[in-house]
Structure 1
């Protein structure tokens, strides 16, 4: 039934949380954050995770821009930990983070096995709200770039999930038909509601049993469950 599979990247294939924690540990050491009264690395990592998720949610609902996310997520993380910080310092940390992060290579469990299983039978693509250069580096570092024909980001499409336009753009550049296309992602609002709005079938990768109001075409708990569907 399907010929084109469109994957989200972060949290679906590429293990953002694990790679982020490693990158934050590198930042903690290189910027000597211990001397800034941030005495607990795990607290720094946990606070950034909370702040980052909040800012990405604001971004995906068009309440802020990418530039605001870049400037503010580290500033707010430091402020919440009792460190005086402005957007200039936040941007400096963010730039260092974006240099470190794409070099990490951890993937979600089962990612390679699933891609190896699917690649001979389907055209594989990425639809991501991340930055084009950063996402390309992540895929190269984790040795998965060769599986994908098209990597569509908000920069290319000039729209971000859940906006229908990014899905329409991805289908167009992939030379696909909607009836033959399937979106696979972990973010219910961006990936699944976005796909539903674009009339595209979808697979909700939902390892945390997130409660949903509109059902996707399929729902899985592990990536390897894709082999049972496809």
Structure 2
């Protein structure tokens, strides 16, 4: 069996519960800006935001829009659907979201217990994330995750997004790791798992919902604590 020394973790939807934390942040904005009168329900507001956010992230990954445009346009397009064509308001809400979101601290079950185990065993832990610097660092600190990780590798610093090999190669350079003594833990088959495969690094696919798929990761888990049975 491979002797691993370095463990790279994705952050959103792997350790930090992106869906629950994002919903809490959006709910606060929905209330603060009294959007019920325009959208009728929070669920409708959230569904339209989620739709536009997903499309714009894809455009950002393809370098068709900038980071700044992504941040405000997802709210501008959402508001516009309800008849609010107000760019200034959209940018104000976008900034509030950036401020509020990293304050949320919900992590997946057994996150801290698993990380404690890995540190005790002497593994060197790092983060590889496609998120933005000013948001991801605050998420880690507020959720009390920052002390576990020797390196935080972001797509901004690496100038490449997962699954591009460049971000993984950058992570190896920063950490001193190599593909043959490292393993990637992540929830996304297209970015985390496929990206690690491209650089011939083993992978642990975190699949808490036990979603069906046709990929073949090195390992698959539905509970983070199962990592202790692998490493």
Q: In structure 2, what is the equivalent of residue 12 of structure 1? A: 14
Counterpart mapping for 1:125-204 below 5 A: 125-204=126-205
Please give the alpha-carbon distance, in whole angstroms, between the structure 2 residues aligned to 1:56 and 1:175.
30
User: Which segment drifts farther, 217-226 or 204-213?
Assistant: 204-213
SS at match of 2:180: helix
Conserved 8 A contact 1:102-1:141: yes
Q: What TM-score does the superposition give when structure 1 sets the normalisation length?
A: 0.92
Structure 2 residue aligned with 1:22, among 21, 24, 43? 24
Runs of 4+ in 1 over 6 A off after TM superposition: none
**Alpha-carbon separation, structure 2, partners of 1:64 and 1:216:** 32
- 1:116 CA drift (Å): 1.0
> Following the alignment from structure 1 to structure 2, what is the Cα–Cα distance between the partners of residues 164 and 88?
38
- How far apart in 2 are the matches of 1:205 and 1:94? 30
Asked if 1:78 is matched to 2:74, the reply is: no
CA distance in 2, matches of 1:86, 1:196: 44
SS in 2 for 1:203: strand
Shift of 1:50: 3.2
Helix, strand or coil at the partner of 1:119:
helix
Deviates further, 107-116 or 205-214: 205-214
**Aligned pair in 2 of structure 1 residues 61, 162: CA closer, same or farther (>3 Å)?**
farther
SS in 2 for 1:97: helix
1:69-101, Cα deviation, whole Å (9 max, x unpaired): 213211222234x23335443322111100000
When the two structures are superposed, what TM-score results if normalisation uses the length of structure 2?
0.91
Give the count of matched residue pairs. Answer: 228
SS of 1:130's partner is coil
State the SS of the aligned residue for 1:182: strand
Taking a change above 3 Å as real, the CA distance of residues 34 and 191 of structure 1, as seen in their structure-2 partners, is same
C-alpha distance in structure 2 between counterparts of 1:113 and 1:135, whole Å:
21
Partner residue in 2 for 1:113: 113
- The SS at the match of 1:151 is strand
Match of 1:216 in 2: 217
Cα distance change on mapping 1:203 and 1:63 into 2, 3 Å: farther
Shift of 1:62: 4.1
- Among 30, 33, 37, the residue aligned to 1:31: 33
Unaligned runs of 5+ in 2: none
Q: Distance in 2 between matches of 1:144 and 1:131?
A: 17
Cα RMSD for the two superposed structures: 1.7
Q: Could you say which residue in structure 1 is the equivalent of 2:89?
A: 89
